[in-house]
Amino acid sequence: SEDRRWSLADFDVGRALGKGKFGRVYLAREKKSGYVVALKILFKHELIENKVEKQLRREIEIQSHLRHPNILRLYGYFYDAKRVYLILEYAPGGEFYKQLRKLSRFSEEQASKYVCQMAEALNYLHGKHVIHRDIKPENLLIGMKGERQTLCGTLDYLPPEMVEGKEHTDAVDLWSLGVLCYEFLVGVPPFEDRTSYKATYRRIAKVDLQIPTYLSKEAGDLIRKLLQYEPENRIPLDQVLDHPWIRKYNLERQNEAGRKEENK
């Protein structure tokens, strides 16, 4: 459990899994239990230089209390003179967007399953008044059963209110969900404009959205209902989970209790 005092001596540290924005992630095994985890090692001087230590403390506080099959667990943390160590759940599949790049785009069935899992994770987060605010493929990992977990930075996924520096609510996550849904099906984000940052900004602010004709009517309908300029016009998560395009491929969705049972 996360309240005992951990230290590096408790772990056999294995291969580097990859580099995050701050520090590196290693495969590690807790010596007594043999439990395999991902150990994220952050350098204090980098956190201080980037003025993110307060944000990290807040994220640790939030993530250590979250329990959801589609949200990566933070089991605990510890630190020494130079580093902060996060003991995170290990998702064997690795980064989701590597999968997306390889496949270039997903089938409607696969995309619907991923969007459903994201909507369930967001529903759980919003129920706890937590806004993710940074949903993008780079922050998604593939779990044991191929499901995705959101690991808690480009313009592509930001809604108009955030690119325009206005007030924002948890509706920002609805917009990002719509952007991701489009990207899963098309292979590129809807407002991408490789010429410039400003061009992307303009396309987002105008909601310059073209839905390819090869997408099903239902898929296009859900994307349009999420990519609404006005935050209050975006359909809420419970309606996303009830949308025909989601229900069609996620018949086995039980209520939350049922799902918790399944994951005990």
The token duo for 24 is 């590196």
Query: Which member of 71, 88, 181, 226 binds ligand MMH (CB under 6 A)?
Result: 88
How does DSSP assign 81-123, residue by residue? SSEEEEEE---TTEEHHHHHHHHSS--HHHHHHHHHHHHHHHH
Q: Reduced to 3 states, what is the DSSP secondary structure of residue 52?
A: coil
Site for ligand MMH in 5-64 (CB under 6 A): 17-20, 25, 38, 40
Q: Which of 29, 44, 98, 224 binds ligand MMH (CB under 6 A)?
A: 98
The tokens 């899992």 sit on which residue? 117
Using CB under 6 A, pick the residue from 77, 85, 90, 191 that binds ligand MMH: 90
Under the criterion CB under 6 A, does residue 73 sit at the interface with ligand MMH? no
Query: Could you tell me which residues come within 8 angstroms of residue 157 by beta carbon, excluding any fewer than 6 positions away?
Result: 134, 135, 136, 176, 179, 180, 189
Between 106 and 175, CB nearer to ligand MMH: 106
Select 91 or 125, whichever has its Cβ closest to ligand MMH: 91
Is 134 tagged catalytic?
yes
Identify the residue among 74, 141, 226, 246 touching ligand MMH (CB under 6 A): 141
Q: Give the one residue of 42, 91, 140, 179 binding ligand MMH; rule: CB under 6 A.
A: 91
Q: Which of 134, 156, 173, 242 is catalytic?
A: 134
Residue 25: phi, psi to the nearest 5? Answer: -115, 130
Taking the least distance from each CB to ligand MMH, the nearer of 92 and 258 is 92
- Give the separation between CA 20 and CA 137, rounded to whole angstroms: 13
Could you tell me if 93 and 146 are in contact, meaning their C-beta atoms sit under 8 angstroms apart?
Answer: yes
The residue ranges that bind ligand MMH (CB under 6 A) are 17-20, 25, 38, 40, 88-91, 94-95, 98, 141, 151
Active-site residues, by number, are: 134
